[in-house]
């Protein structure tokens, strides 16, 4: 396998991108980047500093203020903002509710696009998000688009987070994020040209990891 390989994993919320991407990176000895955590980190900073996340001009004006550091160890991925470990806080319901409006602001996407490309650098990494294969790194050797039906995604997301107990409410949030992510004018959620579509509804995590590992190894032969 080429040491400069970039695996781009895009898809809908709750389709299993994070667990799958970490598993693939671990199996192949690659780095791992969760771009969604970067958007959540910036959103957390906005909320902490009293910025109205629905005021796109205010969000844009402060998009470059926080210093964001993303660790790329698939065994222990980390995210810091201005030196503060925010891996826990960025998963709060408050941040989850605010991340989509922040993510639609072009200045935010441009700021994080530059950071993401700098981290990808010379490759050797699995990158997950919404627009990796279409915008961030369209030259990725392997592109995956993951999806799953809404019921399966809601059940998985609820099981992953202790503070989530209502599967229907979780499903409603996921579908709302789908609409926002797919409908935004800048870098909408879409299946990139050349991406392999994996519907994970009826597959286990290990099975999905195995499929993607096979695709990466096949690309390198």
Asked whether residue 190 is domain-assigned, the answer is yes
- How many domains is the chain built from? 1
Q: What is the pLDDT of residue 219?
A: 75
Distance CA 83, CA 170 (A): 31
Share of the chain above pLDDT 70, in %: 81
215 lies in some domain = no
Look up residue 196 and give its DSSP letter: E
pTM: 0.85
Under a CB-based contact definition with an 8 Å cutoff, are residues 148 and 200 in contact? yes
179 within domain boundaries: yes
* pLDDT score recorded for residue 174: 67
Cα 21-202-182 angle, rounded to 5 deg: 60
| pLDDT higher than threshold 60 for residue 187 | no
> What pLDDT score does 149 carry?
78
Q: Indicate whether 141 belongs to any domain.
A: yes
pLDDT digits (tens, 9 = 90+) for 167-181: 677 667 666 666 666
Mean pLDDT (the chain, rounded): 88
- CATH number of the domain encompassing residue 177: 3.40.50.300
What residues make up the domain containing 131? 6-210
Please state, in angstroms and rounded to a whole number, the distance separating the CA atoms of residues 164 and 141.
Answer: 36
End-to-end alpha-carbon separation of the chain, Å?
A: 7
Query: Could you tell me if residue 34 is inside a domain?
Result: yes
- Supply the pLDDT for residue 3: 80
The answer to whether residue 220 is domain-embedded is no
**220: confidence class by pLDDT, cuts 50, 70, 90:** low
Does 182 have pLDDT greater than 70?
Answer: no
The per-residue pLDDT for 167 is 63
Residue-level pLDDT at 200: 86
Residue 56 lies in a domain: yes
| 165 vs 94, more confident | 94
Mean pLDDT value across residues 138-151: 88
- If you average pLDDT over residues 140-161, what whole number do you get? 77
Other residues' Cβ atoms within 10 Å of the Cβ of residue 192? 20
DSSP state of 204: -
Residue range 33-42: mean pLDDT, rounded: 97
Asked whether residue 216 is domain-assigned, the answer is no
pLDDT in tens, 97-129: 899 899 999 999 999 999 999 999 999 999 999
Residue 171: predicted pLDDT: 66
How much is the pLDDT for 26? 97
Q: Given a cut of 60, is residue 205 above it in pLDDT? A: yes
């Amino acid at each position: 396998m080429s040491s400069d390989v970039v695996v781009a994993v895009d898809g809908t919320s709750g389709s299993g991108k994070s667990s799958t991407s970490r598993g693939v990176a671990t199996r192949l000895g690659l780095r791992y980047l969760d771009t969604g955590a970067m958007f959540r980190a910036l959103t957390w900073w906005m909320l902490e500093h009293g910025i109205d996340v629905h005021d796109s001009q205010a969000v844009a004006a402060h998009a470059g203020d926080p210093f964001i550091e993303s660790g790329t160890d698939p065994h222990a991925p980390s995210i810091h903002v201005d030196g503060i470990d925010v891996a826990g806080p960025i998963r709060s319901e408050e941040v989850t509710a605010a991340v989509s409006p922040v993510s639609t602001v072009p200045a935010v996407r441009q700021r994080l696009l530059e950071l993401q490309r700098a981290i990808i650098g010379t490759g050797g990494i699995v990158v997950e998000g919404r627009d990796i294969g279409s915008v961030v790194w369209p030259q990725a050797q392997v592109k995956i688009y993951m999806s799953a039906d809404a019921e399966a995604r809601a059940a998985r997301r609820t099981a992953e987070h202790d503070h989530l107990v209502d599967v229907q409410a979780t499903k409603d949030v996921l579908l709302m994020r789908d609409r926002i992510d797919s409908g935004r004018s800048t870098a909408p959620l879409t299946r990139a040209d050349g991406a392999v579509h994996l519907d994970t509804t009826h597959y286990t995590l290990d099975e999905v990891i195995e499929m993607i590992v096979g695709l990466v190894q096949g690309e390198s032969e």
